[in-house]
Amino acid sequence: MSARGAFMAQTDLFTPISFGRIEAANRVIMAPLTRNRAQDPDGVPNDLMVDYYRQRAGAGVIITEATQISPEGKGYAWTPGIHSDAQVAGWKKITDAVHEAGGKIVLQLWHVGRISHVSLQPDGQKPVAPSAIAAEVQTFDGTQMVDVSEPRALEREEIPRVIADYRKAAENAKAAGFDGVEVHAANGYLLDQFLRDGSNTRDDDYGGSIENRTRLLFDVLDAVTDVWGPHLVGLRLSPFSNANGISDSDPMPLFRHVVEGLAPYDLAFLHMVEGQTGGSRDLEGDNSIADLRKLFRGAYIANNGYDREKGIEAVASGAADAVAYGRPFIANPDLPERLKQDAPLNDPDPATFYGGGAEGYTDYPTLNAEKAA
């Protein structure tokens, strides 16, 4: 049976699946969710985060919140990193807790590029980007929402350093006990900025043609898969989203080239934001997630606006091998069991999504707790 046929042989959202060498108990994936709880000034994961991830170990795979690969990669206050020994130790507590609870967890590797503010950057420097083009969006500086700062263009000789940062972060993720990593190339952050002609106007070998604009992504995948080996690295893309002010004049040929270029990497999975990030799933014109999905021969994780019915249908039809849920996992730590039983879901409180303490983070009840009450 072909690899594709093997994935389609099991058609239940609640059955096990192998994401490469990552064995998952079900196909309900916890999407990466920025929660801004790493309030240590150095971005060290804390004990509250240990409880949060442990509670959600019933996911087939937990994909962590986006985690900066370097101080330069930071774009929001109170987000964790994976570039220091203390951060590695903090994440190790989390992976140990998830594994003790029977779960699997991969780390999302993140560099925000231009989606940052000078107050969040080392020595107050400008954020970096493919080109010196500011995004007309805001970020959180720890006190309030502020306009992102104008970036500076990365010099050609700096790009190997950025790739080395991804490699070191991948090594640190392995030391922290993760089951794999996901490269974040979606939602208008650095790798997505290099992909798109609206943010990348370079005239060197990292700009201009589709082949050049995709070069950094493939360089990063070379580095990360060299650390982890095949079948333990995932990739997140958002081909038709304009999140964080990103744009491209013709995204379909661009992302066709990207997906076709993934074959040599033997990725664990491709994780795709379908439609607008956190918004409409409807796509205009010829933009087609389905066409891109057909080009990828491994496990495909669908994301964006899925409920129980849509998730079951996507897996049963073969449109997806697994489904990533975001906001439902915030308020329902036992989401896979609730979906399996078709039980009512807790409603999330948006006021507690970002920052704060245990309220709206680790205090949502499970089904068992509700029955015992």
Residue 17: pLDDT over 70: yes
Q: How many CB atoms lie within 10 A of CB 108?
A: 23
Predicted local confidence at residue 8, as pLDDT: 40
Q: CA 154 to CA 67: how far, in whole Å?
A: 21
For residue 284, the model assigns a pLDDT of 55
Question: What's the whole-number mean pLDDT along residues 89-102?
Answer: 98
Is 369's pLDDT higher than 90? no
Average pLDDT, the chain: 94
Quote the tokens at residue 330.
């915030």
Per-residue tokens: 20: 């490469």
Banded model confidence at residue 287, pLDDT cuts 50, 70, 90: low
Q: Which of 216, 48, 42, 212 is nearest to 129 (CA)?
A: 216
Q: Does 189 qualify as catalytic in the annotation?
A: yes
pLDDT value at position 23? 98
pTM: 0.94
β-pair partners for 269: 234
The pLDDT tens digits for 103-143 are: 999 999 999 999 999 999 999 999 999 999 999 999 999 99
pLDDT in tens, 297-316: 999 999 999 999 999 999 99
Summarised one tens digit per residue, pLDDT across range 324-356 is 999 999 999 999 999 999 999 999 999 999 999
Q: Can you tell me the distance from the alpha carbon of 95 to that of 107, in angstroms, rounded to the nearest whole number?
A: 10
Please determine, for residue 11, whether its predicted confidence score (pLDDT) is greater than 90: no
Amino acid at 299: A
pLDDT digits (tens, 9 = 90+) for 186-216: 999 999 999 999 999 999 999 999 999 999 9
- Active-site residue identified among 53, 189, 206, 361: 189
Range 219-234 average pLDDT: 97
Task: Supply the pLDDT for residue 276.
Answer: 78
